[in-house]
A and B are shown apart, each in its own frame.
Chain A
Amino acid sequence: MHASNRRSRAFGAAVAAIIMAAVVLTPQAANAYSLTGCHWPASGGKVTWENDAPAGSYYNSGTAAGYSWANATDVNDMSPTHGLMVGFTDNKGANGYDGWTDWNCLGSTTTFANVTLNPYYTNSFSTVKRQAIWTHELGHGLGLNHSGSSAAIMYHCPACVYNTYGYYYPRPDDVAGMNTLY
């Protein structure tokens, strides 16, 4: 009887250990986003921008990218009508980048941002693939840095994300990051 109790306690301890190990070892959905440290002083999340890209596919894909952030996150508006964040196209040749964003930061406040697509590469892209680049660059302009998730639009290479998964809009990791800012 004594030995039976010991066996029972040992069995219980083993089951508890297995359960604890399972809890610890189960992959948790970790956030992979990162922040630039700068964002707009948005009241109620309201941000607008100015889309100066050429009319047609470039303008339309940029506008759609802006609204995709407003629709998916706590950023509001993103009308492409006016603002200190401005979108362009600028052919800079084979510099290795489909697009880029430069911004000035005063403390932790963004004071302006230029969002640029590089037609050297993007002229051969479809409209939705251009939207993937716009979404990524506007994400930088709003305050997100690169994500460690290869399925996030803020991954280092959004064209790769589009080619692999077909994504051209904010993904859950991007949304989680943006919602910490606005």
Chain B
Amino acid sequence: MRTLLIGLVGILAVGIVACGPTTSKHMEGSRHELFDSVRSISAASSNVVVVEVQSQREEEGPQIPYTISDAKVMTQFAPAGLGSAIDLKTPREIGGEVAVRQMGSKEVSTPAPILEIGRQYLLFLTPSMLDGEAAKQFYVTGGSAGIYSVEGSHFVHGPFTEGDNLPGALTTADLGG
């Protein structure tokens, strides 16, 4: 009887712990600028590409982790004004692959979604301007702003909540393609 009671108390305790509040991780930020047109986000980007994400790895930081996605480049575009608002010492050429760096991870709720392996995206990219290995990596321009998912013959944006006012859908014609 005593053993049964101890067992019941133990099960109850485990149940209470399991049903208690859990810790969640979050991140929000101050956008450096907001975009309201393809031209404005193109001006802040060095490259506009369609990619397919092949693999990912996480890099621990002192505060939040970063996710680096290795992606196969399928198409490159040169929309009007590309790179005109950024100061690059040398033009950034992208070959058959590109490493895309994003703040956060799948475990941290972030304003920009982390790219998913196996999916195709239209990305507006900016050189990371970091040193070392990360110097070869690119950030998505404006966090969530530069992410369009490929859906058939269209590129679809969001819905995101970072304050940009970009077109909800694009075609290759909108990108000078």
> Which residues of chain B are near A111, meaning CB under 8 Å?
23
Contacts A96-B140, A96-B142, A146-B163 given; does A159 touch B32 at CB 8 Å: yes
Query: Interface on chain A toward B: helix, strand, loop, or mixed SS?
Result: mixed
Could you mark each residue 80-117 of chain A with 1 if its beta carbon is under 8 Å from any beta carbon of chain B, else 0?
00000000101011111111111111110101001010
CB-CB under 8 A for A104 and B103, given A96-B140, A157-B31, A158-B30: no
Chain B interface mostly helix, strand, loop or mixed?
Answer: loop
Q: Is A63 an interface residue, CB under 8 A from the partner? A: no
Contacts A92-B103, A106-B23 known; A159 to B30 CB distance under 8 Å? yes
Tell me if A107 and B30 are in contact (CB < 8 A): no
Sample 30 A-B pairs with CB under 8 A, ordered by A number: A90-B63, A92-B103, A92-B130, A93-B130, A94-B126, A94-B128, A94-B139, A96-B126, A96-B142, A97-B29, A100-B27, A100-B29, A100-B103, A102-B25, A102-B26, A102-B27, A102-B63, A103-B25, A104-B24, A104-B25, A104-B26, A114-B63, A116-B63, A120-B129, A133-B30, A137-B29, A146-B163, A157-B163, A159-B30, A160-B33
Which chain B residues have a beta carbon within 8 Å of chain A's beta carbons? 21-34, 61-64, 86, 101, 103, 108, 126-130, 134, 139-143, 145, 161-163
